[in-house]
Amino acid sequence: MSKVQFGTFEDLLQITEESLRPIAIALREVIVTTDPNACEVVRLGDRAATYGVGPRKMIDGYAYILPYKRWINLGFYQGVNLADPEGLLEGTGAKMRHVKIRSIDDAKQSPIRVLIKGAFEYKKASVR
């Protein structure tokens, strides 16, 4: 079994398509504005940054930023439990859902902020 390779958000940006880096930065800003105490864990092997109430990805995490070649997935570990009146969430997994973010404007939309806040609140309530 290989060891998990941790890094910084800057490390993640270095392995992200250059055109997507400003979008990743905008998404991170929206997350930490919503949850100033977010625990950020960057797993370079996953090519993703997880945000949560603690460092454990699946137990503590509520959202993640996962860059692809032409978009960034803003994912939610408990996405099936989130209210999504705009119908933005995609995915067919048992619990996880994501939104494809293709621009800084997409990242800063009000419905995206609502999803992040909902994911954070859901996670906070579930760890009490």
What's the angle, vertex CA 41, arms to CA 88 and CA 114, rounded to 5? Answer: 25
CB 79 within 8 A of CB 98: yes
Residue 26 phi/psi, 5-degree rounding, is -65, -40
Could you give the C-alpha distances from 28 to 18, 35, 54, in angstroms and in order? 16, 10, 16
Quote the pLDDT of residue 34: 94
User: At residue 82, what is the residue type?
Assistant: L
Q: What's the predicted TM-score (pTM) here?
A: 0.94
Predicted pLDDT at 4: 77
pLDDT value for 127: 79
CB distance 25 to 11 below 8 Å? no
Of all residues in the chain, the percent with pLDDT exceeding 70 is 98
For tokens 């995915």, what's the residue?
Answer: 91
**Mean pLDDT computed over every residue of the chain:** 95
Q: pLDDT-derived band of residue 2, with 50, 70 and 90 as boundaries?
A: low
Tell me the pLDDT tens digit for each residue of 61-77.
999 999 999 999 999 99
* Tens digits of residue pLDDT in 94-115: 999 999 999 999 999 999 999 9
| Rounded Cα–Cα distance for residues 64 and 120 (Å) | 12
Cα gap 2→124, rounded to integer Å:
31
Indicate the residue type of 45.
G
Task: Give me the sign of the Cα torsion angle 51, 52, 54, 60.
Answer: negative
Q: Please report the domains of the chain, with CATH numbers, ordered by start residue.
A: 6-122 (3.90.1150)
